[in-house]
Structure 1
Amino acid sequence: MLYVVIPVFNRLSFTIACLDSLRQQTDQDFKVVVVDDGSTDGTATTLAAKYPEVKVLFGSGSLFWTAGVNLGLRYALDQGADWLMTMNNDVIVYPDFVANMKKAASSRPPALYGAYELDAVTQEPIYSGGWSSWATGSFRRLLDDLAPDQRRGQWPSQNLPGRGLMIPRVVFDRIGLFAADVLPHYYADYDFTHQARLAGFEVYMNFDARLGTYPDESGDQHNRQRKSLRNYYNHLFSIRGGANLRDFTQFARRNCPPFYLPLFLVTGYTRRILGYWR
């Protein structure tokens, strides 16, 4: 059985749209777990009234993404889940999403699969995985490597985000849950997929499994769009800051080969400190 785990904190309208898109899947053989981490916008009441099929777990408001996901994953594992999927609430999945993820999962030995992300409004490609260069601190995107007519099926990838990430149970049995103790919000998904690769699992971008996302709606995008010294500080040091220097350091120390670590850190710090103002 597949369990879909969705951590939420407010933004009820996004949660409704996400759950409605899951209700429209051609394959309905899955269960949904929502982790409501202290929402104050009526999320709990709405889910209880309109989505009785959804299991809701509650946090105190201090879980952030990683611990929230882990809470849902523990529940799903305890229920005997064979496959688990992490998903953010600010996405909508297209009707054949689950079916195409399951089709990929049955095509080879247990592996991890990420979703092909499109802008939910314009339908333009947003993200499709890729490869880190430890030597230069850069990221080579599959979107740049593949022509539009090649973007189908599954392609190997190094790091994948948690938005529609499908994971076989055996991965958790081998490497444990996401690293909430060192990566509470950002980088935990990239860390997990790379740690899975180091443990011997293959990681694929599944171009046949599409979801829509809202690239301007993340908390860190608001920091970038409304430039100020306060938002700059949040960008670099807040738990929800996309360039959080502490978390980037932890990610690098856990994943970068030791030979490249000093260079990777220097280039990474430079990109994050200066990139905000570009």
Structure 2
Amino acid sequence: MDKKIAIIILNWRTYKQTVKCIQSVKRSSYKNFTIIVVDNDSGDGSLEKLTEEFTDIHFIKNNTNAGYAGGNNLGIRYALEHGFDYVWILNPDTMVMEDTLSILVRFVDSKEMIASPQIMYMEEPEKIWFVDSTLSPLTGIATHLHHGEMDQGQFKNIIDVPWIPGTALFVPRTVFEKVGLLDDGYFLFYEDVDFSVRVREKGMSVSVIPEAKVQHFVGAVAGRGNPRNEYYVTRNRLYFLKKHSASLWWPLYAIYLLVRTCFASLKSRIQQRATIIQDERMNGIIDFFKSRMGIKHVS
């Protein structure tokens, strides 16, 4: 009997992207799945339009914007409570191929691992967005390898990696039962890195399956390169290091980052350049030390 898959799509004011994602999932050759759309308190009418358009989907309305982890955790809990064998978390700005889900199930079946397909740019479907990664244990900096390369079939075998993004995260229920859910303290960024590390700490694999592919409209949700993201990346990287590095190391690195950010801000002011990036990094460092996690606090 085919394993039951819960496909979780988190919507926050992304009606058009969510519709396209749902439509691509419905074309999958693997059919034993249920789509669960979690609305993160969009408040823009997108949830109402989605519920009118799709009557065969389970919708969960969140009463607050709980971020990537908090919103997806609602869907994960529903999936675990209703006996699904696997959870596939999909960003709303993704489109899946007809065979993507079948390939993931075939490779992950009965294994204790989490997996990601090879992720391509939606704008340039032959260009790689994610297929491999690195993670520094000293700085917590997580990067993509082979990012921007053209896919010429050079990646054929499963790749064991230190972390995979939450863009198209495929997880057996047994992994959630042993590791727990996503850490919703992050709100945005690094919750996928954290989850991957926790999986590896339990002796399970974190892998990319290049044969399976997903297209990703980069920036549709996260808005790469804006000052808000500098805040979350800076704060959450320190939170990640506090959780996963030696107890004496992370305070030293946090102080170093604080001093470096102060000097960068001072240099920008002397040169009469904009300081908004440094300001948001500083806000992230300050909020980390104040244990202000979750959504950014606005004073």
Band the TM-score falls in, shorter-chain normalisation? 0.7 to 0.9
What is the match of residue 85 of structure 1? 88
What is the match of residue 245 of structure 2? 256
What is the match of residue 40 of structure 2? 37
Superposition RMSD on alpha carbons, in Å? 2.8
SS in 2 for 1:65: helix
Q: Post-superposition shift, 1:138?
A: 5.0
Indicate how the Cα distance of structure 1 residues 24 and 248 shifts in structure 2: closer, same or farther if over 3 A, else same.
same
Q: Is the 8 A contact 2:6 2:34 kept in 1?
A: yes
Q: Is the 8 A contact 2:238 2:250 kept in 1?
A: no
What is the match of residue 119 of structure 1? 121
Q: Which runs of at least 4 in structure 1 moved beyond 6 Å after TM superposition?
A: 144-147, 266-269
Q: Post-superposition shift, 1:131?
A: 2.3
What is the match of residue 227 of structure 1? none
Matched, 1:56 2:59: yes
Q: Post-superposition shift, 1:206?
A: 1.1
Indicate how the Cα distance of structure 1 residues 45 and 147 shifts in structure 2: closer, same or farther if over 3 A, else same.
closer
Q: Post-superposition shift, 1:116?
A: 1.1
Aligned length: 260
Q: Post-superposition shift, 1:268?
A: 6.9
SS in 1 for 2:83: coil
Q: Post-superposition shift, 1:194?
A: 0.9
CA distance in 2, matches of 1:208, 1:257: 37
CA distance in 1, matches of 2:122, 2:102: 20
Q: Post-superposition shift, 1:201?
A: 0.8
My pick for the range that moved more, 66-75 or 54-63, is 54-63
Unaligned runs of 5+ in 1: 224-231
Indicate how the Cα distance of structure 1 residues 91 and 150 shifts in structure 2: closer, same or farther if over 3 A, else same.
same
What is the match of residue 50 of structure 2? 47
Q: Post-superposition shift, 1:147?
A: 8.4
Indicate how the Cα distance of structure 1 residues 137 and 33 shifts in structure 2: closer, same or farther if over 3 A, else same.
closer
TM alignment of 1:189-208, pairs within 5 A: 189-208=192-211
CA distance in 2, matches of 1:267, 1:27: 50
* TM score, norm. by length of structure 1: 0.83
Unaligned runs of 5+ in 2: 266-276, 279-299
CA distance in 1, matches of 2:241, 2:210: 28
What is the match of residue 23 of structure 1? 26
After superposition, what is the alpha-carbon deviation per residue over 1:159-216, rounded to whole angstroms, capped at 9, x for unaligned? 1111111111111111211111x21222111101110110111110111111111123
Identity of aligned residues (%): 20
What is the match of residue 183 of structure 2? 179
